[in-house]
Amino acid sequence: MAEEIIIVQGNNTLAGDVAVSGAKNSALKLIAAALLGQGETTIHNVPLISDISIMSDVLRCLGARVERDGHTLTVDTSAVDKHETPYELVSKMRASISVLGPLVGRFGCARVAMPGGCQIGARKIDMHLVGLEAIGVEFSIDHGFLEASTPNGLHGAHVVLDFPSVGATENLLMAAVAAEGSTVIENAAREPEIVDLANMLVSMGTRVTGAGSDIIEVEGVPLSSLHPCEHTTVGDRIEAGTFLAGGALTGGPVTVHGIDPSYLRVALMKLRAMGCDVETGDDWITVGRTRPLAPIDLQTLPHPGFPTDLQAQFMLLAAFADGMSVITENVFENRFMFASELMRMGADIAIEDHHALVRGVDVLQGADVSSTDLRAGAALVLAGIAGEGETRVHNIGHIDRGYEDYVGKLRALGADVVRAETEQAQTSR
């Protein structure tokens, strides 16, 4: 059976300018939030990626009309009359669980298949349920579906999350806008994508304050006062960080446009610590390097800490650094699966519990490797660009979930990289 792969020829330098697409992790939730508007909402700067297609299909199954014109998505939810999402769509993408909050907010009930997505950890939805239960939602499990109901309606509450979960914060935020009274979310996620969602909800007629801090307050409004809006998605900080890592890896300089540098404050600090030259403007960042890469000590944490979605890219940088780096993964327990693929190319990495000890090597060799998740796939392509010889990256569907025209953008920066079909359905082992 034919399989599409990415073929990379090594020993290349990435240099030039690249425009960052809209943030995947924001756009998906903005589409879900459109359910609350009960009309035609327009969302700009939406990336052309497979996850957006899946989320669009989820809303179509609920009765919405979803149309795309370039990077603008029109979502008309006025005819939505269903509150059940099908397993065949939700199982493909974990973010589909984001329709739970707005469906409960709009209908007072929901039937959502248990989610799927990247295999990088349990990522249980317990915190979603605990938060929603606090504002009046009751849950049961029925043959793989999560059944939500609100027999006594939605009401405000003070909710303290065990962990600043992005998904739990978003679902609670979207349901609480339709609750009676005030809801306070303490230990809320602080990611820029949370702020983006809150800004859109405010444009729809809700009252949300504190987004971007660890305490968010939502003053519930009648559902009838919510309306459609027009909103522009923020730039994707993880895509930006991936290309900047490519500049750091090969010397660059690489300039990314369409991103607020404050979104990547810790990552840029680590790049400087590794010996890179970093310049920033209002909506651009440039990274280049003329010195050897220095080793780092890095640990992933919820925002504003170092993002787990850039851990693989920085492990790749550490693989070329002059000395021993220690990378600690505190967010997803299976995210070090990427290390075994990098080791196939000659990286010197030892895994001890949730720590990776990375000893820099002089060269990585091209090999057949497999994307273990979205960010690992993108990092493996970068590894091939910096390595020697030919690298063939398999399971690239993971990359397509979150990077718009990744190959095209890399080629524009000087990479020798192409997509191709092969009859070999499995990576050579």
Place of tokens 């939805």: 125
CB 215 within 8 A of CB 188: yes
29 is in an annotated binding site: no
CB 287 within 8 A of CB 51: no
In sequence order, the 6+-apart residues with CB closer than 8 A to the CB of 330 are 299, 300, 301, 308, 354
| Structure tokens that stand for 398 in this block | 């993971």
94 is in an annotated binding site: yes
152 is in an annotated binding site: no
207 is in an annotated binding site: no
**Single-letter code of the amino acid located at 374:** L
What distance lies between CA 40 and its chain's CA centroid? 25
Per DSSP, the residues of 373-419 read SHHHHHHHHHHHHHSBSEEEEE-THHHHTT-TTHHHHHHHTT-EEEE
Question: Residue 384 and residue 324: Cα distance in Å, rounded?
Answer: 22
Residue 295 DSSP symbol: P
Tell me if residue 174 falls in helix, strand or coil. helix
66 is in an annotated binding site: no
Cis peptide bond prior to 164, omega within 30° of 0? no
Which residues have a catalytic role annotated?
118
Annotated binding site: 24-25, 94, 309, 331
Q: Per the annotation, where are the binding residues for phosphoenolpyruvate? A: 24-25
> Which residues are documented as binding site for UDP-N-acetyl-alpha-D-glucosamine?
94, 309, 331
